């Protein structure tokens, strides 16, 4: 079997087969349509023999189909039948996911593609999850792609751009609990000193990833990589588009106690002999910036507690805050078992300040349950902002009806339902279990 891999980028379309070590290419650009892409491929490969095709495209791909029009190409990609147009059996994935498959060597790997835009994918223990991190908000109402895509490089210059890349890598590595990061794409070569546990990928591995979509043995790889959605391809299984593939979970009030909430602040006022009304007022004037990552915990405490001399230490107060987070063991065990039994993708959608969020992730080993964390401190948005839910859907590559969302706040559940997500207001393990069962999940765990 001869495989043709097509790597569709914002600047060029590149091709390579398993039979001949000779790359072919032609320009793409912001106006490239799928019809033009197919015509270019046929022209450039007219003298080549191949049996099957892999295509990587710079946009979300769900169950082998383009989910949204690419930001850096022309129109008409959604719904286009590439297999019919090219006349060969064809598999399609996100372009970053395709290179990630070629670069992967075990564990939890985050791939970031630095090119015209920003590609991203995560592989966890051999399970591939394409991601859409590019359009998450980063700074000054701009996205990650605005800063470390080609627009950011042109605006910032190489020195500032490199520093920003290092900042983004550190942030996303922490948010996604990655063991290591691979930087790919045409501009990765400009990162002359990658941060710890980060290496520059070989861009030829995009072709290797495409080959491995058909034959995992190519390239001498000893690790299998499985696209997470492959078991749910409708034409093979007859499953409905509405089958639940993804869980969005709040953390406080669902898996853990609500850490620094109203009750915890009452306890703090009693424990440290504070004026509760003053503490609560200062908290409400400040917590939005804390939870959206615009204030550190130290800055928050300076404004809320240590704006005057105290008889207790900052360390004692911080320890008290952290200790208010306690595990709800039955829920954590139940959700972990449900994920495994139903082969679900699980994403945290939570409001939390950075330091408390990181403490919870590490102390309660939440990385064992969650595939990624859409935390307010990372994305600079807070529930009930509807954009936070939309970002989570983009990262999950899931339709609203394929998502079950569990939260203990009724208003947050109502907003999710308005988007078409299956919202569950958590009150008890028994009620949540019943609600998940009604959505078709196997909860006999």
Distance, in Å, from the CA atom of 256 to the CA atom of 320, rounded to the nearest integer, reads: 16
Q: Per-residue confidence at 241, pLDDT binned at 50, 70, 90?
A: low
Angle at 405 between CA 342 and CA 265, to 5 degrees: 125
* Region of 365 on the Ramachandran plot (φ > 0 left; ψ -120 to 50 alpha; else beta): left
- What is d(CA 87, CA 282) in angstroms, rounded to the nearest whole number? 65
At residue 220, the pLDDT reads 56
- Could you tell me which residue, 215 or 229, shows the higher pLDDT? 215
Residue written as token pair 């995560």: 122
Q: How confident is the model at residue 142 (pLDDT cuts 50, 70, 90)?
A: confident
Comparison of pLDDT for 220 and 206, the residue scoring more: 206
Mean per-residue pLDDT of the chain: 90
Residue 158: the pLDDT is 93
Stronger pLDDT, 133 or 3, i.e. the higher one: 3
Better pLDDT: 142 or 279: 279
pLDDT cut 90: percent of the chain above it? 70
Q: Which two tokens stand for residue 202?
A: 């070989």
The rounded distance, in Å, linking the Cα atoms of 121 and 123 is 7
Mean pLDDT of 388-406: 91
Read off the pLDDT of residues 224-240 as tens digits, 9 standing for 90 and up: 555 554 333 323 333 44
* Residue pLDDT, tens place only, 320-364: 999 999 999 999 999 999 999 999 999 999 999 999 999 999 999
pLDDT at 226: 58
Q: Percent of the chain, pLDDT > 70?
A: 95
- Residue 28's pLDDT is 95
**pLDDT value, residue 439:** 94
Residue of 198, 168, 163 lying closest to 183 (CA atoms): 198
Q: In 3D, which of 249, 247, 248, 257 has the Cα closest to residue 360? A: 257
Task: Name the band, by pLDDT with cuts 50, 70 and 90, for residue 397.
Answer: confident
C-alpha 323/C-alpha 138 separation (Å) is 30
Q: Which two tokens stand for residue 136?
A: 């998450």
Of 130-139, 167-176, 302-311, the range with the lowest mean pLDDT is 130-139
In order of their start, the domains of the chain are 3-95 (3.30.420.40), 98-232 (3.30.420.40), 246-257+326-438 (3.40.50.1000), 262-323 (1.10.150.240)
* pLDDT of 265 above 60: yes
Report pLDDT for 324. Answer: 95
């Amino acid at each position: 079997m001869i495989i043709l891999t097509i790597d569709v980028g914002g600047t060029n379309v590149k091709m390579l087969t398993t039979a001949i070590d000779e790359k072919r290419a032609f320009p793409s650009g912001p106006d490239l349509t799928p019809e033009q892409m197919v015509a270019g491929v046929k022209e450039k490969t007219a003298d080549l023999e191949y049996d099957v095709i892999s295509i990587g495209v710079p946009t979300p791909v769900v169950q082998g189909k383009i989910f949204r029009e690419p930001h850096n190409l022309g129109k008409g990609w959604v719904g286009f039948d590439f297999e019919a147009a090219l006349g060969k059996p064809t598999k399609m994935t996100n372009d970053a996911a395709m290179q990630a498959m070629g670069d992967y060597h075990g564990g939890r790997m985050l791939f970031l593609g630095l090119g015209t835009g920003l590609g991203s994918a995560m592989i966890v223990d051999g399970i591939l999850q394409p991601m859409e991190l590019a359009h998450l908000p980063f700074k000054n109402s701009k996205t990650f792609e605005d800063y470390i895509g080609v627009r950011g490089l042109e605006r910032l210059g190489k020195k500032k751009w490199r520093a920003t890349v290092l900042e983004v890598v550190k942030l996303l590595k922490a948010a996604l609990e990655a063991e290591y990061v691979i930087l790919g794409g045409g501009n990765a070569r400009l990162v002359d000193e990658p941060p710890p546990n980060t290496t520059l990928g070989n861009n030829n591995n995009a072709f290797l990833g495409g080959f491995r979509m058909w034959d995992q043995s190519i390239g001498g790889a000893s690790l299998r990589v499985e696209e997470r959605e492959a078991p749910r391809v409708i034409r093979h299984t007859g499953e409905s588009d509405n089958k639940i593939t993804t869980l969005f979970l709040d953390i406080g009030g669902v898996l853990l106690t609500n850490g620094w909430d109203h009750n915890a602040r009452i306890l703090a006022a009693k424990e440290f002999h504070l004026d509760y009304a003053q503490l609560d007022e200062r908290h409400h004037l400040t917590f939005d910036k804390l939870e959206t990552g615009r204030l550190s915990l130290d800055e928050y405490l300076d404004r809320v507690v240590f704006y005057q001399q105290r008889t207790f230490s900052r360390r004692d107060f911080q320890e008290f805050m952290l200790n208010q987070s306690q595990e709800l063991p039955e829920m954590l065990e139940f959700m972990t078992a449900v994920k495994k039994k139903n082969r679900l993708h699980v994403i945290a959608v939570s409001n939390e300040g950075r330091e408390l969020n990181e403490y919870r992730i590490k102390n309660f080993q939440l990385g064992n349950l969650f595939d990624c964390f859409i935390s307010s401190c990372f994305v600079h948005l807070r529930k009930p902002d509807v954009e936070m839910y939309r970002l989570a859907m983009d990262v999950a590559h899931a339709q609203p009806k394929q998502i079950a969302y569990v939260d203990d706040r009724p208003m947050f559940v109502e907003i999710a339902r308005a988007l078409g997500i299956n919202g569950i207001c958590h009150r008890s393990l028994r009620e949540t279990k019943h609600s998940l069962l009604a959505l078709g999940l196997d909860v006999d765990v």
